[in-house]
Amino acid sequence: MPDRSLVVNRRAFLGGAALAATGLLLRPARAEAMGGSLPEIGKPAPGFDLDGVAPAADGEVGPTHLTKGDFQGRWLALYFYPKDFTSGCTLEARGFQRDLAAFHTRQAQVVGVSADDPEAHLSFCGSEGLAYPLLSDPGGAVSRSYGSWLAPFSARHTFLIDPDGVLRASWLAVRPSGHSQEVLAELTRLQGEASL
C-alpha cells in the first residue's frame, strides 16, 4: 500500500504547480494559451484574409476568399482545428454541420480554419457534406493572431465574434463532441443579453 502522506504531498505539489502555472499563463494585459497570446474578450477580434472553400448559391462547394469584414453585421463562430479527415476534427465538423440551421436562424455564420490547403478542404467538405466555409492558414499567421498555432497545426480553439467584429467568447482546447452545442448556447445567451 502506498504511503498516504506521499500521495497527499504529491497532490499538494501538483495543485500548487497548477496554480503557479495558471499565474504565469494569465496576465492582466493578455492571456496566454499553448498556441500563443489570446485576443481579449470585449476587444475587436483579429482580422483574417484567407483562401478556402465555401458553398455557392447552387449548393456546390468551390473556391472562396474571405475576410473578417465579409461577416460584418452577422455573428461568427470561428473555429480552428488541426487537420481535415482526423477523427476529432471530423466529429467537430459534423457537429457544426448538424447545428448549422440553428446558427443561421440566429444570424450567425460558422467558419472553420486549419493549415490544410483548399484542395484538402474541398475533399473534406464533399466527404462530410459540409455547407459552411473552411479556410486555409498554411503558415499559421491567422491562427497565431488568435493564440491557436501549434506548428504545424492550428490548435482546437473557437471564438465567437459579434456583428460589430468584437470578440465575445472563446473556448480553448475544446472537446469535439457536443462543442457546437456549447457555442450555440453561448450565442443564444449573448443575443438574449443584447436584446435587454
CATH code of 188's domain: 3.40.30.10
Which residues lie across from 96 on neighbouring strands? Answer: none
49 & 9 share domain: no
Average pLDDT for 115-141:
97
What's the full length of the chain, in residues?
196
- pLDDT reading at 12 higher than 70: no
If one counts the domains in the chain, the total is 2
- 52-76 tens-digit pLDDT: 999 988 889 999 999 999 999 999 9
102 & 61 share domain: yes
- 144-173 tens-digit pLDDT: 999 999 999 999 999 999 999 999 999 998
Q: How confident is the model at residue 1 (pLDDT cuts 50, 70, 90)?
A: very low
**138-173 burial: b if 16+ Cβ within 10 Å, else e:** eebebbbbbbbbeeebbbbbbbbbbeebebbbbbbe
Q: Which domain holds residue 14?
A: 4-29
Grid coordinates representing 78 are 470561428
CB-based contact 133:53 (threshold 8 Å): yes
175 & 126 share domain: yes
79 & 97 share domain: yes
75 & 168 share domain: yes
- 77-122 tens-digit pLDDT: 999 999 999 999 999 999 999 999 999 999 999 999 999 999 999 9
Catalytic annotation on 89?
yes
Grid coordinates representing 120 are 484538402
106 & 13 share domain: no
Which residues lie across from 36 on neighbouring strands? Answer: 33
Q: Which of 45, 50, 78, 89 is catalytic?
A: 89
